[in-house]
Chain A
Amino acid sequence: MSALQDSVTRAPAVAAVPKGNIALGYLTSTMVVILLFAVPLFAKNFVIFQMTIWLIYAIAILALNILTGGSGQFSLGQSAFYALGAYTSAILMEHFGVNYVLTLPVAGALCFAFGFLFGLPALRLSGIYLALATFALATAMPQILKLGVFEHWTGGVQGLVVTKPDAPFGLPISQDVWLYYFTLVISIVIYVFAVNLLKSRTGRAMMAIRDNEIAASAMGVNVSLYKTLAFGISAGTTGVAGGLGAIAVQFVAPDGYTIQLAIALFLGMVVGGVGWLPGSLVGSAFIVFVPNLAEEVSKGLSGAVFGAILIVVIFLVPHGSRQVAYKIQDIVRKIRK
C-alpha cells in the first residue's frame, strides 16, 4: 500500500495508478453498495431521479477512466459515443418496440464496434492530437444526427420521445425507483467488470502502454490491439450509459449531446481522480450537483461560480477525490497505530 502514497506525493504528470489501487477495499465497497441500495427507502422520487442520472454519468466517466487512466489515451469525443448509445436505445424502443433491457447490449455492442474502428486511425495519434481527433467526433455528431437521411429514424432536430418503462412483475414500486435499481445493478456489473479488466492481463498490458509504449512493445505487448481495444471498451460502456440516459430522461435530441457533454465527462474524470475507478462516482456527483449549487449562489453568474469552485478544487486536490481518499486512509491508519 505504500507505493500508492508515493504515487500521489510524487505527483506524476499523467496519473499512473498502480494496478492494485484502482478500486476500493471490499469493506468500503460493500458499505457503499448497501448505502446505494438503501437510498430509495428514504428519498423522494425527484432525488431518486437525480441519483439515477448521477449513476449514469458515473458509468460514462468510468468508461473514460478505463481509456485515460487505463491505457493513457485522451478522448474529448465521449459525447459522440454517448449519443450513439442513446439513439440506438431510443430508436430500437420507439420504432421497433424492442424491450428496453435488450436495447442496452445492442447499444453497447454498436458503440464498441464504432469505438474500436475509430481507435484504428487514432493509433497514429497520441496525447493532445488524439484529444483533438476525438474532439472532431464530438463536434460532428449532433450534425450527423440532424441529417435528413436519418430523419425518419432520429426525428431530426425535433428529437425522439422515449417511453419510460414500468417496474416488471407487478412490483409495487414507482418507475423512478425501478429505473434507479436497474441502473444501480448495471453500474455495479460494469464497475466489477472494469476493476477485473484492469487487474487482468489485458489491463496490465494497457497500463504498460500507458506508462511506456516502447517498453511495453519490447515486452511483447501488442500495442495497436490493446490501444484500439481500450477505445472499443470505453466506447461500448459509454454507449450503455447513453442508452440508460435516454431511458431515464425519456428524450433524445441532437442538441443534448454536444461537446459540452464530452467536456463535462472529462471534467468529472479529473475531479474524481484519473485512473481511480471509484472516483467516477465523485466526479459524476460534481458535474450533476455542483451546477445546482452554483445556481443557488447566484443565478446570473452560475457559470462563473461553477468555474471558481472548479479552480479551487483543482488547486487544492489536483488528483481529485483519489487524493482525498488516500489522505483519509492515511489518517485512519495513524489513528489505529
Chain B
Amino acid sequence: MPRCLLRLPFAALLAATIALGGVSPSAAQKAYDPGASDTTIKIGNLMPYSGPASAYAIVGRIEQAYFRMVNDQGGINGRRIEFISYDDAYSPAKAVEQTRRLVERDEVLLVFSAMGTPSNAAIQKYLDAKKVPQLFAATGATRFGDPANFPWTMGWQPPYQTEGRVYAKYIMATKPDAKIAVLYQNDDLGKDLLKGLRDGLGAKAAMIVAEDSYEIGEPTIDSHVLRLKASGADVFISITTPKFAAQAIRTAARIEWRPLYVQTLVSASIGAVISVAGFDNAQGLVSAAYNKDAADPQWRDDPGMQRFHAFLDAYAPDVNRTDNSAVYGYGAAQCLVEVLRRAGDNLTRANIMKQAAALQGYAPDTLLPGITVDTSASDFHPIERLRMMRFSGDRWELFGEVIGGELDK
C-alpha cells in the first residue's frame, strides 16, 4: 500500500509531463540550469555584513525582504525565490571563497547584487569561466559593463564615469569658463569619476585647475579643502564618501569658500551627510540623482514610492528610510524579479543573460521620471542617465532635464 502511494504522484507527474510535451512542444518547454526548478529559483549574493563597509549591507537586507514579499505574493511564475546571502567582509579573497560556496555547494542559478568593486572584480573571472550570471553588480566601476570580454557580468547603477560626464556637461552648459577644483577619494570611485569628468570636458579638460586625493584612512580632510580653495577655483567637485563629504561641506563653509559646490551622488544622502554637515552649510549644493529620495515630500503621492513605503512598513519596518541603500536595494531587487519573470519557464543561465540584456524602457518604482533601465546585447550599463538637483531648505530640488552620460561603446 505505501508503495502505491509513493508511485502515484510519480505516475501523475510523468503523465503530466508527457501531456504537456505533447500538447504544446514549443510554448511550455521548460529548461533549467542548476539553481532553478519547478518550485524554486536559487539566487546567490555577497554582502559585507562585517568589516569596514558594513554600512552597505543594508542593501542585502532590503533585497532579502523584497524577495520574501515576492514569495508571499506567489513567487515568480509560481516559483519561490531562495536568496542565499553570505558575508564577504569586503575582502576579495573571502569573496572568491563565498562565491565558490554559492556556485559549487549551494548551486545557485546566478549571483545577484554582490557589493563593492573589489569583491566583484575578484569573482568576475571565475563566474565568467563557470558561465554563471553576475547580475546587477552593486558598484559603479565601468569594467562591469563590458559584454565583449565579460558576457556574464552586468552592473546596475550609473557607472561613476557616467556621473563624471554628466557633471562635465552641466558645468560646460552653465559655467563655460569655470575653474574646477576636484577632491577625490583614492580608489575606484574617485579615479573613475574623475576620468568621466575629464572625458566629458574633452578638449576643455584644462578647466580643472587643481586636483587632490585623500585616503580612506585619513582622520580629516580639512587641509585638502584649504589647498583647493587656494587654487582660486570657482567650482568644487567633491568625490567623497559620506564621512569625508560631510567634513568637506563643513570646512568649506567655515573658511567661507563659496564655489559652485558639486557633491557626488554616493554622498548626497540627507540623513548620512547633509544633516551631519548642517543644513545651513549645504545650501546651494548641486548633485545628480537617478533614484527618488525616500525622504522627499514631492513623492508622497507617487504610486511607485507608495509601494516602496508599503513594502518597508510590512517587511523591513526597522530600516532607516532616508538611507539611500534602502531605495537602491528595492530598485535592484525589483529589476531582477522583472528579468526572471521575463525569462518565464526557460530558466537557463544563458536565457537570464539574454533577458537582462533586453530591457528597454523598464522603470522600477524607485527611478526618477524620465530615467529608465535600458540594455542591449552591446550595452551592459542599465542606467546611464541622471538628473541634476540642488539643495535648498531641507531637501534636494531637481532641476533641468535628464542628462545622458552614455559611455562610448
Give A residues with C-beta under 8 Å from B.
44-46, 49-50, 53, 139, 143, 146, 156-159, 161, 245, 249-253, 255-256, 260-261, 291, 295, 299-300, 302-303, 306
Q: Which chain A positions have C-beta within 8 A of B91?
A: 255-256, 260-261
Residue of B nearest to A261 (CB): B91
Do the beta carbons of B86 and A158 come within 8 Å of each other? Answer: no
Given that A245-B93, A295-B49, A299-B49 are contacting pairs, would A250 and B122 also be in contact in the complex, using a CB cutoff of 8 Å?
yes
Does B101 reach chain A (CB closer than 8 Å)?
Answer: yes
Does B50 reach chain A (CB closer than 8 Å)?
Answer: yes
What are 26 A-B contacts defined by CB distance under 8 Å? A44-B105, A45-B100, A46-B101, A46-B103, A49-B100, A50-B100, A143-B186, A143-B215, A146-B186, A146-B187, A157-B187, A158-B117, A158-B141, A159-B92, A159-B122, A250-B96, A252-B92, A253-B121, A253-B122, A256-B93, A256-B122, A291-B89, A295-B87, A299-B87, A300-B49, A303-B50
Across the A-B interface, how many residue pairs have beta carbons closer than 8 Å? 89
Q: Which chain B positions have C-beta within 8 A of A156?
A: 191
Do the beta carbons of A253 and B104 come within 8 Å of each other? Answer: no
Does B90 reach chain A (CB closer than 8 Å)?
Answer: yes
CB distance from A310 to the nearest CB of B (A): 13
Given that A46-B105, A256-B91 are contacting pairs, would A157 and B49 also be in contact in the complex, using a CB cutoff of 8 Å?
no
Does B390 reach chain A (CB closer than 8 Å)?
Answer: no
Do the beta carbons of B118 and A161 come within 8 Å of each other? Answer: no
Q: Which chain B positions have C-beta within 8 A of A53?
A: 93, 97
Does B85 reach chain A (CB closer than 8 Å)?
Answer: yes
Does B188 reach chain A (CB closer than 8 Å)?
Answer: yes
Do the beta carbons of B104 and A46 come within 8 Å of each other? Answer: yes
Do the beta carbons of B122 and A251 come within 8 Å of each other? Answer: yes
Residue of B nearest to A253 (CB): B118
* Alpha-carbon separation in the docked complex, A53 to B86 (Å): 18
* Alpha-carbon separation in the docked complex, A105 to B91 (Å): 26
Most buried by B among A53, A159, A249: A249
Does B124 reach chain A (CB closer than 8 Å)?
Answer: yes
Give B residues with C-beta under 8 Å from A.
49-51, 85-87, 89-94, 96-97, 100-101, 103-105, 117-118, 121-122, 124-126, 141, 143, 186-188, 191, 215, 217
* Alpha-carbon separation in the docked complex, A255 to B126 (Å): 19
* Alpha-carbon separation in the docked complex, A252 to B91 (Å): 11
CB distance from B117 to the nearest CB of A (A): 8
- Which of B86, B87, B90, B143 touches A255 (beta carbons < 8 Å)? B90
CB distance from B115 to the nearest CB of A (A): 13
- Which of A139, A255, A303 touches B92 (beta carbons < 8 Å)? A255
Q: Which chain B positions have C-beta within 8 A of A44?
A: 104-105
* Alpha-carbon separation in the docked complex, A50 to B126 (Å): 15
CB distance from B177 to the nearest CB of A (A): 29
CB distance from B85 to the nearest CB of A (A): 7
* Alpha-carbon separation in the docked complex, A299 to B143 (Å): 30
* Alpha-carbon separation in the docked complex, A289 to B215 (Å): 31
- Which of A143, A245, A249, A260 touches B51 (beta carbons < 8 Å)? A260
Q: Which chain A positions have C-beta within 8 A of B121?
A: 158-159, 161, 251, 253
Given that A260-B91, A302-B49 are contacting pairs, would A46 and B100 also be in contact in the complex, using a CB cutoff of 8 Å?
yes
CB distance from A159 to the nearest CB of B (A): 6
Do the beta carbons of B143 and A158 come within 8 Å of each other? Answer: yes
CB distance from A201 to the nearest CB of B (A): 37
Residue of B nearest to A250 (CB): B125
Residue of B nearest to A147 (CB): B186
* Alpha-carbon separation in the docked complex, A53 to B96 (Å): 11
Do the beta carbons of A291 and B96 come within 8 Å of each other? Answer: no
* Alpha-carbon separation in the docked complex, A143 to B185 (Å): 12
* Alpha-carbon separation in the docked complex, A156 to B96 (Å): 20
Q: Which chain B positions have C-beta within 8 A of A306?
A: 50
